[in-house]
Structure 1
Amino acid sequence: MSSLIPLILSLLAFLLPADGTILQNGQVRPTNYPDTAVSINEAWTTYPPNSSQISYKGRWDDMYISWWSAPGLKFGFTGSEVAISFGNYTDDGNLIAYRYGGEDWMLTNVTANSTHQLVTSSTLGYNTTAANTTRTFELRVSNWALGVQIDSVHLSPGGRLVQLPSYDRTVEIIGDSLSAGQYATLEGIASWAWGFGEGLGNVEFSIEAHPGICLTDIICSGNNPHGQLYQWFKTSDTSYRATQIYGSNQPDWDFSAHPAADIVVINIGTNDAGSSANVSDAEFTANYITFISRIHCVWPDAQIVVFSLWGGWSQQGDTWVQGPTYVQAIENVVQAFSGPSTPAPYGGNSSVCQTASANYSNVTSDTPQGRGFVHYFNTTGILQHNDIGPLYHPTDVGHVKLASHLMQFVKLKFGWMFGAIGPEVQHETQYWNDWPNN
């Protein structure tokens, strides 16, 4: 297995966004998504992106530019039709998923400085008798490498925006390409992180994951200037587009302006183990303990779930053997926070944690904050060698398996019940899809 690590990590660092071709076992999947571009007349009602009725999901900056994996927005509306104008910082040809109510997701490509009508009388599930009742619209960016900027929301004459209540529970997912959905059919909205959040159904969730990123705050995989130990505290990710927009002056994420996470799921470290980073077990352990301490400083009541790293598989004799990464190091991290609960050193009362403008990445205490809030999710046995594609990332079915097992883990560990009782979760997911560049 050790001989495969450099190859795995070099592939993890392959950050070019997917083109418009989707292959499934060598056959091109049709991607002739409807052209939704339109021109809106003056009779429509236009709302700015900062309208209080619009709820943004995941991380967006104060220019309403989306970041990280599968960010989106959601709002209620009355009337008949919905259109959205996308701003200058929207990547050309970006694939978005959107849906009306609890119907299946639909897909379309959007571009900068354009307007797209996303709800019409031909929209799946459209109800012609519901013009005066509140309907629901939701949008998600499908990938991790590209983003959109919301310029305005338009409703056909007589329509108005309606603020929808948020779910009471919040989940935060932190990771690298394995969580961002790289090489999955629809990237972010085909990832296990997406399947987990959508599968729970009655939670708000955000996916702070980006390919090639390390936990350790170092240049990782060639083109990630920071690790999650630093970057998680920023609004934007480590992408090229973030550098183009912000340079080295990336804005801090204002945790005080958003609900605290009830559960934080972390799947990180594969890139730290690569030959380009080569972080030692001792350093990785210390960094992980510091990272969890900083997270708990921000969210003192959060429960934190730590993934084991499944690594890769090698053929030995007449079977396949898994070669996991940082096994003892991650167990040591969990052990550092084990035992009965005790007061945290910060306890959520420190000025470092209370100050909205604080740079939380400067919290340097490596003393575990409290006990009993870190939980170990052992992935051993969930994936088999054919759940990993040639580019060493989970296939679509691999992502589904991970999401399903994690959902059961959360249900048994924390007593959360599933709330997704109708709407689809994995849009257009194929049961078998193990070809490269898919």
Structure 2
Amino acid sequence: MLSHFPLLGLLILGTMASASVVIPHTHPLIYFHGRWDSSPGTWWAGSGFKLHVNNLKSLNLTLGPHTTAPLTSVGVSLDYGEFITANISEGANAIDLPESFIAGEKTGTTVVRINVEGWQNNRMNLESIVLNEGASLVQYIPSDLVFQFIGDSLSAGQFLPKGVDQAWPFLVGEAFKAEHVVNAQPGAALTDIVSYGNEHGVSFQFFRTEDTGYFYTTDHNFTTPWNFARDKPAATHLVIHIGANDASQNVTDSQFVEVYTTFIARLRTIYLGQPIFLFTPWGWPNPDGTVNQYYEGQYEKIVDLRHAAGDENIFLVNTTGWVGWDDVFPDNQHPTVPGHVHIAEQFQAWLENRGLHPRERWATQ
């Protein structure tokens, strides 16, 4: 059990035994998820990889020069336990494992999940993985339930100690024992405009490999189209919660509806029939119990327009009342860690009430 070992930390790896097993980043049994460029390096919060390892006793990551300096924070989970933060940097990094692994008390296979936590400074340039002598990779079988989340800071885990790993989309994916990808950028509007340091809106950036931080990354200040065929398996359910930054940038109701319906139409060229869930805003709570709202009634219009176009597999998720003053940081009104748990629980209940239930077990054990 993960609760019985110290926090996963970072050790600088010195010499490695010649018998160590070196896994190049091109190895077919590394299961990559999220957005990776050709270096290969991560973009967007939550991107990472999964391993299914036989006889695991040590785990080391060798990272290249495109890794965020001086470090980037990743979450590490063993056998679907809690994600524990490890700070990694260019070069050799040894990830602490529980004593039971090192002593050989843990036998059989282990599922290792590693993902970048942050919504910025989150580039992990993976060159190779080094395992102990006698270890080997076996196939990781992904869940047949795959969530694709799209949003802004309210979905990316901004201001949380563990970033996206504590955000409601990540928690929902975990609760359903599903694969889950989060493309959410704090400060970005859906509309393709400059907003709070983001050069593009999500309606543009979602279709690119890079998140909007590319603009400030001197070694990679360009964008490349994302090949959605790399998402294997493809998303089975899409969840969108966005609009706060459009409202802050004075995008009008009619403009927002037009951008959103166009965005969904473009999504439908990739996700032909999957359910799409559109969150209404839960708004900005105030200490007196009132909530400041934006685009009231417009999300309903978007769903109605899609239904009129023949797209019946799109659903409105009315989040009114989901978030109160006790759920947010008072200085920025973004959900706290317990607030994100509260949101995740409510959305899980919403999904279960409509017939989607968590898988009984993870696909890879």
Q: What TM-score, normalized to structure 1?
A: 0.76
> Whole-Å Cα distance in 2 between the matches of residues 44 and 219 of structure 1?
48
1:410 is matched with: 351
In terms of mean alpha carbon deviation, does 101-110 or 73-82 score higher? 101-110
| 1:55-81 deviation line (CA, Å, top 9, x unaligned) | 012111121211111222111112332
The structure-2 alpha-carbon separation of the partners of 1:374 and 1:86, relative to structure 1 and needing over 3 Å to count, comes to: same
2:247 is matched with: 273
Q: Tell me if 1:88 matches 2:65.
A: yes
Q: Tell me if 1:62 matches 2:2.
A: no
Pairing 1:125-144 to 2, within 5 Å after superposition:
128-131=104-107, 133-144=108-119
Whether the aligned pair in 2 keeps the contact of 1:337 and 1:373 (CA below 8 Å) is: no
- Runs of 5+ consecutive residues of structure 1 not aligned to the other structure: 1-30, 340-367, 423-438
One of 71, 83, 91 as aligned partner of 1:105: 83
Whether the aligned pair in 2 keeps the contact of 1:43 and 1:157 (CA below 8 Å) is: yes
The structure-2 alpha-carbon separation of the partners of 1:59 and 1:403, relative to structure 1 and needing over 3 Å to count, comes to: same
1:284 is matched with: 256
| 1:86-140 deviation line (CA, Å, top 9, x unaligned) | 22111223222212223333322111123223436455xx782455x32221112
1:219 is matched with: 194
Whether the aligned pair in 2 keeps the contact of 1:387 and 1:395 (CA below 8 Å) is: yes
Whether the aligned pair in 2 keeps the contact of 1:84 and 1:118 (CA below 8 Å) is: no
Q: Tell me if 1:261 matches 2:235.
A: yes
Larger RCO, structures 1/2 (Cα 8 Å, 6+ apart):
1
- Runs of 5+ consecutive residues of structure 2 not aligned to the other structure: 1-5
Q: Tell me if 1:207 matches 2:182.
A: yes
1:346 is matched with: none
Pairing 1:170-185 to 2, within 5 Å after superposition:
170-185=146-161
| Corresponding pairs, count | 351
Pairing 1:19-418 to 2, within 5 Å after superposition:
34-39=9-14, 40-79=16-55, 80-91=57-68, 92-119=70-97, 121=99, 128-131=104-107, 133-146=108-121, 147-201=123-177, 203-221=178-196, 223-240=197-214, 243-248=217-222, 250-258=223-231, 259-274=233-248, 277-314=249-286, 319-338=288-307, 368=309, 370-389=310-329, 390-413=331-354, 415-418=355-358
Q: What TM-score, normalized to structure 2?
A: 0.90
The structure-2 alpha-carbon separation of the partners of 1:118 and 1:420, relative to structure 1 and needing over 3 Å to count, comes to: farther
The structure-2 alpha-carbon separation of the partners of 1:328 and 1:104, relative to structure 1 and needing over 3 Å to count, comes to: closer
> Whole-Å Cα distance in 1 between the matches of residues 95 and 306 of structure 2?
50
The structure-2 alpha-carbon separation of the partners of 1:119 and 1:313, relative to structure 1 and needing over 3 Å to count, comes to: closer
> Whole-Å Cα distance in 1 between the matches of residues 28 and 97 of structure 2?
21
| 1:118-167 deviation line (CA, Å, top 9, x unaligned) | 436455xx782455x32221112121112211110111112111121111
Whether the aligned pair in 1 keeps the contact of 2:285 and 2:333 (CA below 8 Å) is: no
What is the DSSP-based 3-state SS (H/G/I as helix, E as strand, rest coil) of the residue aligned with 2:260? helix
Q: CA deviation at 1:244?
A: 2.4
> Whole-Å Cα distance in 2 between the matches of residues 410 and 181 of structure 1?
21
User: Aligned residues: percent identity?
Assistant: 28
Q: CA deviation at 1:208?
A: 0.2
RMSD: 2.2
